[in-house]
Amino acid sequence: MIRTLIFDFDGTLHETGRIYVAAFRATREKLLADGYTVREYTDSEIEGWLGVNTPDMWAQFMPDLSPEQTDFYARYLGSVLNGLLSGPSAHLYDGAEETLTALKDQGYTMVILSNCMEAYRDAAIRRFGLDRWFTEFFCCQAYGDRPKEEIFPEIAGRYPGPFCVIGDRASDLKTAQVHGLHSIGCAYGYGTRAELAGADVIVDSVRNIPAAVGQFA
């Protein structure tokens, strides 16, 4: 029986596009004002970067920036995002709170493993009261932006197995595949179904996660 659930956050629990698209566009305006040429992006293009770690996102978005410039604008985007996170536009997916409560009541240990920045992690914990359900929130920035599969041993050293990884992007499934873990792909998030093809189970709603976890009993 699964003992510890490893959740992704953005696109799995948090409907992040509600605020990330606005934060990205504000950052684009800042870049334009500072003299950079930046094309327009559609909402779906912007949401495609959700779940990608910060260095990889900026290497794709603005590859010609210096490391110092990248750090400046990444922090700018993060500050706008964190401000929006405290406002009314920020939402967990409908049914997420009920799902997490049900899983906690069933006795699962739950942690979050996210490709996010530390300030965002802390803001999200405060905004949604995530410590009601989660024992710990691991973010890649705290580990030098290492990929999730390299951070998993930290989790395995602190929490009991067997484990199940739950997420909407290829990085989540890679963590499960590299370490031989069960996995649930969240098709309602920001990844593609092709990314999730290797998942043990694919769900179309956050509400379906408890039943999917139950299949591994």
pLDDT tens string 129-185: 999 999 999 999 999 999 999 999 999 999 999 999 999 999 999 999 999 999 999
Contact 162, 169 (CB under 8 A): no
Q: What is the pLDDT of residue 53?
A: 85
Q: How many CB atoms lie within 10 A of CB 123?
A: 20
For tokens 């006795």, what's the residue?
Answer: 107
Q: How far apart are the first and last CA of the chain?
A: 4
Helix (H, G, I), strand (E, B) or coil at 85: helix
Q: What is the pLDDT of residue 50?
A: 93
Q: What is the pLDDT of residue 51?
A: 86
d(CA 90, CA 128): 9
Q: At what angle do helices 67-85 and 54-61 cross, to 10 degrees?
A: 110
CA dihedral defined by 125, 131, 135, 136, rounded to 10 degrees?
A: 10
